[in-house]
Amino acid sequence: MTQALRDALITTALRMSQLGLAPGTTGNVSVRTPRGFLVTPSGMAYDQLRPDDAVAITLDAGGAQVAPGQRAPSSEWQLHRDLYTARPDAQAIVHTHSLYCTTVACLRRPIPAIHYMVVHAGGDEVPCADYATFGTAELAAAVVRALGRGKACLMANHGMVALGDTLAAALQLASDVENLASQYWHAAQLGAPHVLPADELTRVRAQFAGYGQRRRPRG
């Protein structure tokens, strides 16, 4: 199982880079394991990563333990640790420095409900976490606080983070939120975008509850 997770982690990280969500060596990806989580290593080009480069971090009562002999973990490993601790439902995390999310985050604004797809992020807007220096416990705490029970948030003057029940879901949400940020930025060039009211977002959630294909009975 661990080898399959390593393979999936590296595949997801490479896809994140190919989508332009993490320029250079920015951003990071992790996936929960039975004993903790796997996270991408620090400062390595995504197209050079191999499954053995994934860093295993164990979570126990004594905190987080990185076994010797591994790559140095992402500088944001504390962010991943604290999110997994605070959110037992999260099975994967994608953190990006994508262009439009970072642009809006530099304004320290949330992404309002300018499009109904915002509900996929788990709330009526995509919130923006307070600023703190990258790689610190203060940043991890700010993100946990801003997320609440949501699935994605911006990080002031930094980027964004998305949670998912799979690596694919976390990456898809990161891409969706980047699209929302792009729509918000472009619409704001022409004026103040109209924001959908809370009651409409409630109707949207109900619509999505019945969205997609149903499994057909056999026979």
Q: Active-site positions?
A: 76
The set of residues, in sequence order, having a beta carbon less than 8 Å from that of 182 and lying 6+ positions away, is: 99, 100
Q: Which of 57, 45, 58, 46 is nearest to 10 (CA)?
A: 46
Q: Which of 3, 41, 173, 181 is nearest to 94 (CA)?
A: 173
Rounded Cα–Cα distance for residues 186 and 181 (Å): 9
Distances (CA, A) of 16 to 32, 38, 187: 18, 16, 25
Rounded Cα–Cα distance for residues 136 and 133 (Å): 6
Q: Are residues 77 and 15 in contact, defined by beta-carbon separation less than 8 angstroms?
A: no
Rounded Cα–Cα distance for residues 215 and 135 (Å): 44
Rounded Cα–Cα distance for residues 188 and 103 (Å): 12
Q: Which of 45, 47, 65 is nearest to 56 (CA)?
A: 65
